Structure 1
């Protein structure tokens, strides 16, 4: 379980009450509990550490709690890969033909479009993909929409570690 969510559960607090207590937004707490933040807020990590230490004999540090958070994120990602039976995103000869048919140059492959199609074959939206994979939606959406032609570093890291970047797929279109 996400250590922040678990600490909040142990404290018996709603997301609203915790957010008010820590002077952060309710949305921040909700998104942190979804795992989409790469670097959690220090105040929240300190609070979670104190709360968890009230219930365990082993003394935890904020660094340990942050490491537990990251470990939980990877467990979520691996579980998602397994439960959805994800196959790597690959470039096929049909991708070249499809893009040529849309009056796009044969020599250019729009990897962000292919990635967006891959996401769409497993999820209803980019946002639901990001929540499932514990990624912040904004940079991923920018990439899928073609506003950025370089895949976000965290997305590259996640897809590489999960072995979901298949044959011929490039993370930078330029």
Structure 2
């Protein structure tokens, strides 16, 4: 379980009360619980450590909580890969010919190939990001072609899960 979610489970107040106590938005807290951030802020980590240490026999610190958080993220990603039976992201003939740029000039836009692949499994970039514990903004910008290079965190996750397949390039230029 996400250690922040577990600490919130132990907490007796509402999410709104907790977010006010910590001086953060309820949305930020929710996104941390979904695993969308690589590292929660220090307020969340300190609160999680304090809350967990009230009920654990062996005390934890920020490093341990962060390690548990990241392990939970990877478990979520691995589980998603297995449950959805994800195939690697590849540049197929269909991916090529479905792009007018390829038919006209032989250019493949890899962000569009990614978007097609993602669309085979998830209805939106946000749903993908929640399942893969990724922040949605860089992924949405990549899908929309606002950035020409795959975001580092997305590249790291897909590479580690061995989901970057044949012929796929993570940089457009």
TM-score between the two structures when normalised by the length of structure 1: 0.95
Instruction: List per-residue Cα deviations over 1:106-139 (Å, max 9, x = no partner).
Output: 1x11000010010100001001000110000000
The residue aligned with 2:145 is: 146
Paired residues of 2:97 and 2:103 also in contact (CA < 8 A): no
SS of residue matched to 1:45: helix
For 1:117 and 1:13, locate their aligned partners in 2 and report how far apart those are by CA, in whole Å: 42
Deviation of residue 104 (structure 1)? 3.9
1:30-45 correspondence to structure 2 within 5 Å: 30-45=30-45
Gaps of 5+ in 1: none
SS of residue matched to 1:76: helix
Residue 128, structure 1, aligned to residue 127, structure 2: yes
Which range is displaced more, 97-106 or 151-160? 97-106
1:76-155 correspondence to structure 2 within 5 Å: 76-100=76-100, 104-106=104-106, 108-155=107-154
RMSD: 1.3
For 1:56 and 1:131, locate their aligned partners in 2 and report how far apart those are by CA, in whole Å: 29
For 2:71 and 2:114, locate their aligned partners in 1 and report how far apart those are by CA, in whole Å: 26
Instruction: List per-residue Cα deviations over 1:47-83 (Å, max 9, x = no partner).
Output: 1001001111111011100110001000000011111
For 1:5 and 1:98, locate their aligned partners in 2 and report how far apart those are by CA, in whole Å: 42
TM-score between the two structures when normalised by the length of structure 2: 0.96
For 2:101 and 2:158, locate their aligned partners in 1 and report how far apart those are by CA, in whole Å: 29
SS of residue matched to 2:121: coil
For 1:124 and 1:58, locate their aligned partners in 2 and report how far apart those are by CA, in whole Å: 42
Once superposed, which parts of structure 1, at least 4 consecutive aligned residues long, lie more than 2 Å away?
93-104
Gaps of 5+ in 2: none
Paired residues of 1:99 and 1:105 also in contact (CA < 8 A): no
The residue aligned with 1:158 is: 157
For 2:51 and 2:150, locate their aligned partners in 1 and report how far apart those are by CA, in whole Å: 37
Deviation of residue 99 (structure 1)? 2.3
SS of residue matched to 2:117: helix
Deviation of residue 43 (structure 1)? 0.9
